[in-house]
């Protein structure tokens, strides 16, 4: 079933809120209220419209922002975690590593070593290339990685 233009406008309103302030606490309930639809309907329709559940979309935006701050500033990692909506530096570090494959410190060190190579690349291209790939939930990704490690260890 095709989504109505009115529903898409409402969903875009919620998406714009996330994009404008990814550091804020965007619960499904709050996003549904912004969209003027029920919580269950919002969650289903958001995923249908944008290809990602709302929570995963928020995580993607937070990690994108953290990556930019790590790359473009000298702010301490703790400050970056707080500015991007994380209450715990440990949770930030774990989820950042799960998504990007490296710790925030490792990411910053690698990016600083190649920053001069990116000077001639348009920012929109860099953002598209650096966008975190969250095709599956972080917890599911972690579970699959553990299962894979267990298989390797049992051989």
pLDDT tens, per residue, the chain with 155 residues: 678 999 999 999 999 999 999 999 999 999 999 999 999 999 999 999 999 999 999 999 999 999 999 999 999 999 999 999 999 999 999 999 988 889 999 999 998 877 656 667 777 777 666 667 666 666 666 666 667 754 444 44
Give the total number of structural domains in the chain.
Answer: 2
Angle, CA of 132, 140 and 13, to the nearest 5°: 50
Q: Tell me if 63 sits within 8 A of 100, measured CB to CB.
A: yes
Q: Where are the alpha helices (DSSP H) in the chain?
A: 5-20, 28-35, 39-50, 54-72, 77-83, 89-100, 104-114, 123-130, 138-154
155 within domain boundaries: no
89 within domain boundaries: yes
* DSSP-assigned letter for residue 56: H
Same-domain status, 39 and 68: no
pTM above 0.85?
A: no
**Which structural domain range is residue 134 located in?**
63-145
Same-domain status, 68 and 127: yes
**DSSP for 102-142?**
S-HHHHHHHHHHHGGGGTTS-HHHHHHHH----SS-HHHHH
Same-domain status, 81 and 30: no
141 within domain boundaries: yes
What pLDDT was estimated at residue 131? 67
């Amino acid at each position: 079933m095709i989504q109505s233009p009115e529903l898409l406008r409402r969903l875009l309103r919620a998406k714009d809120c996330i994009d404008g302030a990814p550091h804020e606490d965007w619960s499904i309930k709050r996003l549904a209220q912004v969209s003027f639809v029920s919580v269950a309907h919002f969650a289903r329709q958001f995923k249908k419209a944008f290809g990602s559940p709302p929570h995963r979309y928020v995580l993607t935006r937070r990690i994108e922002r953290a990556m930019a701050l790590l790359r473009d500033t000298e702010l301490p990692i703790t400050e970056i975690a707080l500015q991007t909506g994380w209450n715990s530096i440990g949770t930030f570090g774990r989820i950042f590593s799960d998504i990007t494959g490296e710790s925030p410190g490792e990411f910053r060190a690698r990016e600083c070593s190649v920053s001069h190579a990116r000077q001639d690349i348009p920012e929109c291209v860099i953002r598209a290339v650096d966008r975190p790939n969250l095709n599956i939930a972080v917890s599911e990704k972690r579970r699959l990685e553990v299962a894979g490690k267990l298989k390797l260890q049992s051989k």
